[in-house]
Chains A and B, each alone.
Chain A
Amino acid sequence: MDLTLKVWRQNGPGKPGEFKEYEARGISPESSFLEMLDVVNERLVEAGDVPIEFDHDCREGICGTCGVMINGHPHGDQKGTATCQLHMRKFSDGDRIVIEPWRATGMPVIRDLIVDRSPLDHIVEAGGYISVNTGGTPDANLIPVPKEAAESSMDAAACIGCAACIAACPNSAGQLFTSAKLAHLNLLPQGQPERYERTIAMVEKMEEFFGSCTNHGECEEACPKSISIDNIALMNRDYLVAKFKDRRKAGQR
């Protein structure tokens, strides 16, 4: 198939950028979206041009490295699909495809389609863990976890940290990412001792970088792992409780 690409090119952080057009001819419909970009790039290099930079790695939809806006949709408009798993058979011959980086003040462009997502790491560093050191932990089966709790925790833990939720949000809010990590940990018995401290720390770190949630729901729609916005409700509840709870007396329930 033959396609026309309109791609955002930007030489470096803080530098001006612009859209440029490229012809992508003879693309196999069996190719993935990123393989299509590989072909375009290989031709650019052969012609002595600088290839389009984009982030990618596992190409199995699990590492969360890839992600671009495709015709205005994060990861394209196929539901529950990361950019690397999107295939060209979903496009038609002659299509014109607009490709842009994630846009959010908290995630500035590094080059072309690559952005800086380190704020997501900082949110996890603020409290997205259970404070146990290596060694000296009890036998695994001493901590029974209700199957339903393990399942909902896993539903949230499936987040790949790609930041599509933030790119999709008109407010560039980080609620879906942050709440998914909180739900993963707060729903498990192991996560209870630090539940409320964790919630406050992560929410407040998130607010340093990203906007506020106004319940548009675009994030869930864009999420390649279909993480539910129910997690945001859980986060808001825990945040509210945390603000009122006297944690020095937490042991008394």
Chain B
Amino acid sequence: MTTLDAKVPEGPIQDKWTNHRFDIKLVNPANKRKYDIIIIGTGLAGASAAASFGELGYNVKVFTYHDSPRRAHSIAAQGGINAAKNYTNDGDSIFRLFYDTVKGGDYRSREANVYRLAEVSNEIIDQCVAQGVPFAREYGGLLDNRSFGGAQVSRTFYARGQTGQQLLLGAYQALARQISLGNVTLFNRSEMLEVVTHEGSAAGVVVRDLITGEISSHSAHAVVLATGGYSNVFFLSTNAMACNTTAIWRAHRKGAYFANPCFTQIHPTCIPVHDEFQSKLTLMSESLRNDGRIWVPIDPNDTRPANDIPENERDYYLERIYPSFGNLAPRDVSSRAAMRMIDENKGVGPLKNGVYLDFADAISRLGKDVIEARYGNLFEMYERITDEDPYEVPMRIYPAPHYTMGGLWVDYNLMTNVPGLYAIGEANYSDHGANRLGASALMQGLADGYFVLPYTIADYLADFLNTTPLSTDHEAFKQAEAEVDGRMKKLLAIQGTRTVDSFHRELGKIMIEECGLARSKEGLQKALREIPALREEFWKDVKVSGTEDTYNSELAKAARVADFFELAELMCRDALEREESCGGHFRVEHQTEEGEAKRDDVNQAHSSAWAWNGYDTPQTHIKEPLEFEYVALAQRSYK
């Protein structure tokens, strides 16, 4: 049976990363220019890695399907970024951030990786400040912090409600500098559609120019995928419209293991769906829960406007059920609580599909000015979408798919099981276990790109000094190009009756119902019958207009949705085999009497990696056992 070698260094957890950096091989500065590295994606992870590699002297090619690297969806992250600085003098430490993250992930992440993440978190803040990221400041000129879910300390650095934007612009500007110096070549509006391997190792990629449709090959000593998550498998999510699974899915089909696909995060505070034409969901930052109070009317039949419902007829259910964390309970816990309220018919709004997030108390305590300074842009965004003024009436929020903890399996060096193929940021599965804490995605993306991969990649590259990457004339590239070309032509040739979106919407409905907030054996089995049938129908009846040699967003979308079908099936299979509830994965068969998630640490304390066996053959399930030496396994309690 295949086993997984995570390559976790020996020694006490606080020394592992230091020792590892000494033990791994280096590439000397003069030799770095002899190596080519390809990076796919220019979000926080991709842009920070590309800039750092360029600074070190490697030859870097970076690809994005956007018109500019600055458009990547990291830009939409609102609330903040965690670090263990303990600037607020409230008892934070690297160990506490590590502990909170392992616990927050419901004990399904690899301790050594999480410890390293906490360890480099402080350097990220230093780096970003030096780059000119305009973080929020106190009057004395020092950095301000706020709190996020799942933590009892204030460790989140922020730039109003636009932290992701400012961090991404920092990384983008560092990348722009390397582009101007000629160390990095940028290919915009170019979508990676195939990973090319040769003798089992990564050799390069095939990309399609979205303007001309031209298909081209690029080879390198190493390929880094920084292509984000796959929440758009649900059709409606907080992800941007173009976010997709294609890059990591194509890598999976070329042999990279896909880990924990069923670990997806449903974010509790999104603006509720208004009608069937809705194209995406908008997040309202978790930071709002610092000052907002969540409630529903006690009486399900209460139809009065929110402000007319007296205090004693409101149920502040998070404060009631989880008194010590209150409105800052972690995302999985808060989402499920909201869903229970809505299931009990206590939902609010025209479709009774939301709960209130109320700022009246905070405004009377702190004044409107303070609230506006903290959350002004979020309040404005809410007003634009709903036509309601959250300074006057409570916001309505609802849980929505937001982040995917699962992704490509990687070892401690962030390399997949395919030598030379790396996955960083949301595209890998490594640090968040079964649930990600707020303000940790930005931390992980930048940790991987700035402070982990630039070290670990040298360990692999060192062995290839003075070798030339495989020629793009090689059969392996020609085959991959033909495969991509064939796929595009096939999609255009079907000329059926249904649009790509109609299929995507139907797939999303199956997924949110059967593989969303709550999952059951019966429902997952039903989904596993429905998805392949829908996929077959897609390949027979989809209608894509236009041609392949011009800008054709329907064609690009069709290719992405085709890959979502295959991923969706794997997600359901993974959810079915994980006979426990943990983090974002809630199996109705496994819950406590109070309806909380019930983990099975005896049989399920592992990461599930899945190996591709070909189209229409189920993947092989490989388990990486998880050991907890430093954080004692315990029933997660936020009460």
Contacts and interface: CB of A to CB of B under 8 A. Distances in A.
Interface residues of B, number: 85
Interface in B351-401: 377, 380-381, 384-385, 387
A62 B165 contact: yes
A204 interface: no
Interface in B462-497: 497
A45 B500 CA distance: 9
A111 interface: yes
Closest 9 CB pairs of A and B: A144-B141, A129-B173, A137-B130, A154-B134, A140-B129, A125-B180, A111-B551, A57-B240, A134-B52
Most chain B Cβ neighbours within 10 Å, of A38, A55, A150: A150
A143 to B, nearest CB: 6
B132 A191 contact: yes
From B67, B131, B165, B240, residue with most partner A Cβ within 10 Å = B67
Interface stretch (B70-78, B256-264, B335-343, B590-598): B70-78
Contacts of A128: 173, 176
B17 to A, nearest CB: 14
Nearest to B278: A35
A95 B630 CA distance: 65
A165 interface: no
Interface stretch (A182-190, A211-219, A234-242): A182-190
A48 B128 CA distance: 49
A65 interface: yes
A161 B70 contact: yes
Q: Is the interface of A mostly helix, strand, loop or mixed?
A: loop
Contacts of B387: 87, 89
A120 interface: yes
Interface of A: 11-13, 28, 30-32, 34-35, 38-39, 42, 44-46, 48-51, 53, 55-65, 80-81, 85-87, 89, 110-111, 114, 116-118, 120-121, 124-126, 128-135, 137-141, 143-147, 150, 153-154, 157-158, 160-161, 184-185, 188, 190-191
B126 interface: yes
A134 B132 contact: no
29 contacts: A34-B279, A45-B544, A45-B545, A57-B71, A57-B242, A58-B73, A59-B280, A62-B75, A63-B76, A65-B71, A80-B380, A111-B551, A118-B188, A121-B70, A121-B188, A130-B130, A134-B51, A134-B174, A135-B127, A139-B126, A140-B135, A141-B143, A146-B141, A147-B137, A150-B135, A153-B134, A157-B165, A185-B132, A190-B131
Interface string B159-173: 110100110010011
A227 B70 CA distance: 18
Contact of A188 (B51, B134, B282): B134
A50 B546 contact: yes
Nearest to A114: B551
A154 B551 CA distance: 35
B553 interface: yes
B315 interface: no
Contacts of B177: 125, 129, 131
A154 B131 CA distance: 14
A147 B141 contact: yes
A116 B212 CA distance: 13
B545 A51 contact: yes
Given A61-B381, A89-B387, A129 B131 contact: yes
Interface string B266-296: 0000000011011110110000000000000
B403 interface: no
B166 A157 contact: yes
A227 to B, nearest CB: 13
B129 A150 contact: no
Contacts of B68: 117-118, 120-121, 161
B539 interface: no
B553 to A, nearest CB: 6
A114 B188 CA distance: 14
Chain B CB within 10 Å, residue with most, of A50, A58, A146: A58
Given A57-B242, A63-B240, A135 B75 contact: no
Given A45-B543, A46-B543, A111-B550, A30 B130 contact: no
A53 B67 CA distance: 14
Contacts of B48: 134
B76 A110 contact: no
Contacts of A13: 211
A97 B55 CA distance: 49
A120 B277 CA distance: 33
Contact of A124 (B66, B176, B552): B176
A80 B380 CA distance: 10
Nearest to B377: A158
B240 A45 contact: no
B275 A31 contact: yes
Nearest to A152: B134
Interface in B66-102: 66-73, 75-76, 85, 87
Contacts of B282: 59-60
Contacts of B128: 140
A225 B130 CA distance: 25
B9 interface: no
Contact of A154 (B76, B159, B174, B554): B159
A159 B517 CA distance: 36
A34 B141 CA distance: 41
Given A34-B279, A60-B76, A153-B134, 14 more contacts: A11-B550, A28-B274, A32-B279, A57-B240, A59-B280, A62-B165, A125-B177, A130-B132, A134-B48, A135-B123, A137-B130, A150-B134, A154-B134, A154-B160
Contacts of B278: 31, 35
A116 B211 CA distance: 10
B13 interface: no
B534 interface: no
Contacts of A34: 279
B177 to A, nearest CB: 5
A221 B100 CA distance: 46
